Amino acid sequence: MKPVIFGLAGETLTPDERAFFAEAEPAGYILFKRNIVDRAQLRALTDDLRSLHGRDDLLIMIDQEGGRVTRMQGPVWPSFPPGALFDRLYDVAPSSAIAAAHANARAIALTLAEAGITVDALPLLDVRQEGASDIMGDRTLGAEPMRVAALGRAVLEGLAEGGVVGIVKHMPGHGRALVDSHLELPVVDANLNALETDIAPFRTLRDAPMGMTAHVVYTAWDAERPASLSPTVIGEIIRERIGFTGLLMSDDLDMKALRGSIAELAAGVVAAGCDLALNCWGRMDDMIGIAAALPEIDPASRARLDRAMASVTRGSDQPPLEQLLATRDQLLAPVVA
């Protein structure tokens, strides 16, 4: 198995993808809007991936946050609100906000599990900061670490109860970035004391099954390398100071924050301490280069992958999706205009 998550080009596996994936055996896959048509097509695609590898617990992930980051869209699937709405409710009724976040996450999980998707890139534990780039903005759960952690835990638990593994992101915190890491490399010059605010929610939820790194330079920790490529940030901050023991993947290697060939970057994030490299765009030349550049997955990383995928078991006694959505909407009513 190669320590990488690959994207797919389209709505079905091409013959070239099928042959390549069978040989390379990536750790998992990520799906985007380009891969999705309707319920039947999406389930057939995820079933095909599982059949190709003979792994019922195959990592098949998606970014289904709600709000502006939504891959499975209406009218086929229900809509889900951004994280900021739960933050607003927390101002007036913290327990209701936690319950609403939990119901919303469980509803997301039910839609994903029905489609054969096993992992969601949620929750964001980035602590929102005034004046930062809007790339986080309304996606975040708040500007206060305890609140972010409380809502984040509700999301993780709701996803797990619906049979889906959650990912805490973007470690060790993207909330201070002044620019969008999809477009350029953010450099955060905050001092060590200030950065304690950023890592606090991740420390509280250090037992999460999966985490994702940030393509951000933190000069107080490593002035030369973004977190995804920094053995210092991954080893000393994420693994030691935060205490995170779960599966750690990079953010997407195609983001313009990073410089270098895609194969070099994949090898670099794994060498720095990420368990898995994330390559989203399904370009065959890139994927062939990545597979050639990467070693076989490290035994410790494979164990973390197996443990994460075994961390949730979808029970047969699930509440109806409509009930979860109604509960969420009733709780959110005070802050919905």
- The pTM for the full model equals 0.96
Confidence (pLDDT) at 317? 85
Of 141, 147, 205, 142, the C-alpha closest to 172 is: 205
Q: Which two tokens stand for residue 145?
A: 């670490």
Q: What is the predicted pLDDT for the residue at 42?
A: 98
**So which residues are the catalytic ones?**
182, 251
How far apart are the C-alpha atoms of 281 and 289, rounded to whole Å? 14
pLDDT in tens, 98-141: 999 999 999 999 999 999 999 999 999 999 998 877 778 889 99
Instruction: Check if the beta carbon of residue 156 is closer than 8 Å to that of residue 168.
Output: yes
Pick from 78, 106, 102: nearest CA to 89: 102
Residue 316's pLDDT is: 74
Residue 136: its pLDDT value, please? 80
Residue 14 host element (H or E): none
Tell me the CB-side half-sphere exposure of residue 148, using CA atoms within 13 A: 30
For residue 315, what pLDDT is reported?
A: 72
Tell the CATH superfamily of the 2-335 domain. Glycoside hydrolase, family 3, N-terminal domain (3.20.20.300)
Average pLDDT in the 241-260 region?
A: 93
Share of the chain above pLDDT 70, in %: 100
Domain parsing of the chain, residue ranges: 2-335
User: Phi/psi of residue 8, each to 5°?
Assistant: -120, 150
Distance CA 337, CA 85 (A): 11
Q: What is the mean pLDDT of residues 280-294?
A: 97
